[in-house]
């Protein structure tokens, strides 16, 4: 039970970090909606390993990362549609010019924002799960 709660809090903090870092994702101001959105994204991480076990696929970093990414993209779609205050919007990336590296400005669509948030969240959670398994 304590292991489950510890992992749940870790995954919720990871989701909160990811959702506050990206510009295109706005969080609900109501604390109940905020906690429920973080809880949903955290439960999806637990659901990923259960689905992999059901499909008799070995759970390692890559498979856990891919399954969690797919589930989180679906979770972002559902949260955007059904949770008030949770919005994913298009924004313009300003570009970077460091002399030798030039990235021109481009619009970041809703789908790209979902995929970037999902991949970042699943990478952090998969790494945490791998570190816990190895210790």
Domain positions in the chain: 2-134
pLDDT of res. 37? 93
Question: pLDDT tier at 78 (50, 70, 90 boundaries)?
Answer: very high
Give yes or no for residue 43 having a pLDDT over 90: yes
Q: Which of 100, 80, 78 is nearest to 88 (CA)?
A: 80
Burial class (CB in 10 A: 0-12, 13-18, 19+), 32: exposed
Reduced to 3 states (helix: H, G, I; strand: E, B; else coil), residue 24 is coil
pLDDT for 112-126, tens place per residue?
999 999 999 999 999
pLDDT for 81-118, tens place per residue?
998 888 898 988 888 888 888 888 889 899 999 999 99
pLDDT of res. 99? 83
pLDDT of res. 119? 94
- Locate 59 and state its tokens: 């759970």
- Global pTM reads 0.88
The overall average pLDDT reported for the chain is 90
One-character DSSP codes across 86-105: -EE--EEE--EE-SS-EE--
């Amino acid at each position: 039970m304590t292991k489950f709660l510890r992992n749940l809090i870790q995954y919720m903090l990871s989701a909160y970090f990811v959702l506050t870092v990206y510009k295109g994702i706005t969080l609900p101001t109501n604390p109940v909606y905020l906690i429920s959105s973080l809880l949903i994204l955290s439960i999806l991480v637990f659901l990923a390993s259960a689905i992999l076990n059901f499909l008799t696929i070995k759970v390692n970093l890559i498979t856990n990362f891919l399954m969690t990414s797919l589930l989180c993209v679906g979770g972002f779609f559902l949260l955007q549609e059904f949770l008030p205050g949770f919005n994913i919007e298009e924004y313009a990336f300003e570009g970077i010019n460091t002399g030798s590296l030039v990235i021109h400005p481009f619009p970041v669509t809703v789908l790209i924002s979902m995929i970037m948030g999902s991949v970042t969240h699943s990478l952090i959670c998969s790494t945490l799960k791998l570190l816990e398994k190895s210790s």
